[in-house]
Amino acid sequence: MAIIGGGITGLTAAFYLKRAGVPVTLYESSPRVGGVIQSLRQDGYLAEFGPNTLLETSPKIGQLVRDAGLSARRLDPDPAASARYVVRYQRPIPMPATQLGFFTTELFSLRAKLALLREPFRPARRDGVEESIAQFVQRRLGQEFLDQAIDALVAGIYAGDPHKLSLQHAFPKLAELEARYGSMIKGQILGARERQRTGEVAKDRAPKFSFDEGLQVLTDTLGQTLGDSLRLNTAVTQLTRPGAAWNLDLQTPNGTAQATHDTVVYAGTAYRLAELKVAAPAPLDLSAFSEIRYPPVASVVLGFRRSDVTHPCHGFGMLIPGVEGFNILGAIFSSALFPNRAPAGHLTLTIYVGGERQPELAALPPEKLYPLVTADLRRLLGVRGEPTFAHSVFWPRAIPQYNVGYGRFRARMTELEQQAPGLLLAGSYRDGVSLSDSIVSGGKVAERINAAVA
């Protein structure tokens, strides 16, 4: 059994396969596992340069933590840090936490509030035409919700553009609510029993957590459990299936090599999949996967003296709609969420720049990026003085975009598995972009393999 890709999907699949007694080898082209999960402890700060929290949207998430022996290292967020902010009128405003709060908040106009009340009575679309998330929101809630809320949410999840992202593929549960119940609000109410039965939790309500030394604790631990089954600095360049097994061409630090496996799980990125040569036995064309868009994102972690920040920063963070005109996509109040993220008397902020909104900004060098970010923080959070900690990571291709028309890519993935028996595809380009989606994806592919060999 071979797994290509040492991100969280590949690690989860390998962990459960090995746990079930299935011989497995994980090939990772870089010198470390974890992919975009990257934690740094330095000068009393703990910086996260990929995801900051893990959402417990499925029972499989907590089960992985327990199976990996990490329950004692799990950290739940400070209950006082539940507030989320959205920027409007050039300042962060708390999102309402109750129905009454929604009707009294200054985030939305009276017209927008009335539009939400009318949502259950709007006719559902039944013609089967694929919509962008922007078209869906404009149709059911109006332009103000799109500009002031959904645009910011999409930037926070995908670093994407709501006018390009597919409702059916990027937000399938919203599409399902309308298809099944005729309304988002009706679906939230009437679908509660079904969600309780399956144990699934909506992302906006799912418990979030991390670990004492950041999310890299999870990926490092999973990697360590693999022992000699983990091959770092080893790229798989070609797959051929002349008979009943797959031959893998490998590029290692010592030159080229080969390996043979009966089954291969590809758990890398879509753009690397497009570069992989596959013959089963005739060559297969994977070039279409290069068209899946991955916008660039810079993850910037800054530390400040607590006395140099006017805003209390008690909460999860803030999302910023594009219409507000700032350079940053949003910020997470990292040290408010979890302890030991900053030295005493200081705080840590994790800021994201670029994405589909302003991709050119993500590639700025630190000497230009940090002042640009700090300037926005001065206006939004009342930051004074200079950062006491600054570190950033540039992700040239950060998050796969499930844009309108994405169904053709998923159809090609299914077709590829049929054309190449023993090749399985899993990961963020197929099963959802969140960290929890990737864990579930890895767990499900392991279940498929275990069922086949049982």
Would strands 328-332 and 317-319 be described as parallel, antiparallel, or unpaired? antiparallel
Distance in Å from the first CA to the final CA of the chain? 14
Mean pLDDT calculated for residue range 278-282:
94
Would strands 277-279 and 235-240 be described as parallel, antiparallel, or unpaired? parallel
* Residue reference for tokens 């909460």: 315
In the chain, domain spans: 2-37+228-292+403-453, 108-119+131-202, 295-395
Give the pLDDT of residue 80: 82
Closest CA to 131 of 403, 429, 434: 403
- What mean pLDDT is reported for the chain? 95
Q: What is the pLDDT of residues 12-37, one digit of tens each?
A: 999 999 999 999 999 999 999 999 99
User: In 3-state terms, what secondary structure has residue 107?
Assistant: coil
Confidence of residue 39 (pLDDT cuts 50, 70, 90): very high
Half-sphere CA count of 299, side-chain side, radius 13 A = 22
Q: What is the pLDDT of residues 400-424, one digit of tens each?
A: 999 999 999 999 999 999 999 999 9
Give the sheet arrangement for strand 255-261, strand by strand. 255-261, 246-252, 235-240, 277-279, 283-284
**CA distance linking residue 273 with residue 256, whole number of Å:** 19
User: In 3-state terms, what secondary structure has residue 312?
Assistant: coil
Give the pLDDT of residue 300: 98
**Cis status, amide bond into 281, omega within 30 of 0:** yes
Q: What is the CA radius of gyration of the chain?
A: 23
Give the pLDDT of residue 199: 65
Fold of the CATH domain 295-395: Polyamine Oxidase; Chain A, domain 2 (3.90.660)
Q: Name the helix (H) or strand (E) containing 451.
A: helix 435-453
Residue 65 has pLDDT above 70, yes or no: yes
Residue 7 has pLDDT above 70, yes or no: yes
**CA distance linking residue 351 with residue 65, whole number of Å:** 27
Q: What is the pLDDT of residues 339-372, one digit of tens each?
A: 999 999 999 999 999 999 999 999 999 999 999 9
Q: What is the pLDDT of residues 179-235, one digit of tens each?
A: 999 998 888 878 776 666 666 676 667 899 999 999 999 999 999 999 999 999 999
Q: What is the pLDDT of residues 85-114, one digit of tens each?
A: 999 999 999 999 888 899 999 999 999 999
Which amino acid does the sequence have at 334? Answer: S
Q: Please tell me the least confidently modeled range out of 32-46, 92-106, 146-160, 301-315.
A: 92-106
Give the pLDDT of residue 454: 63
Give the pLDDT of residue 128: 86
Mean pLDDT calculated for residue range 434-454:
93
Give the pLDDT of residue 198: 65
**CA distance linking residue 192 with residue 182, whole number of Å:** 15
Mean pLDDT calculated for residue range 269-278:
98
**CA distance linking residue 59 with residue 57, whole number of Å:** 7
Which CATH homologous superfamily contains domain 108-119+131-202? protoporphyrinogen ix oxidase, domain 3 (1.10.3110.10)
Give me 403's structure tokens: 């844009």
Which CATH homologous superfamily contains domain 2-37+228-292+403-453? FAD/NAD(P)-binding domain (3.50.50.60)
DSSP-derived secondary structure for 16-51:
HHHHTT---EEE-SSSSS-TT--EEEETTEEEESS-
Would strands 84-88 and 317-319 be described as parallel, antiparallel, or unpaired? parallel
Q: What is the pLDDT of residues 155-173, one digit of tens each?
A: 999 999 999 999 999 999 9
Q: Name the helix (H) or strand (E) containing 248.
A: strand 246-252
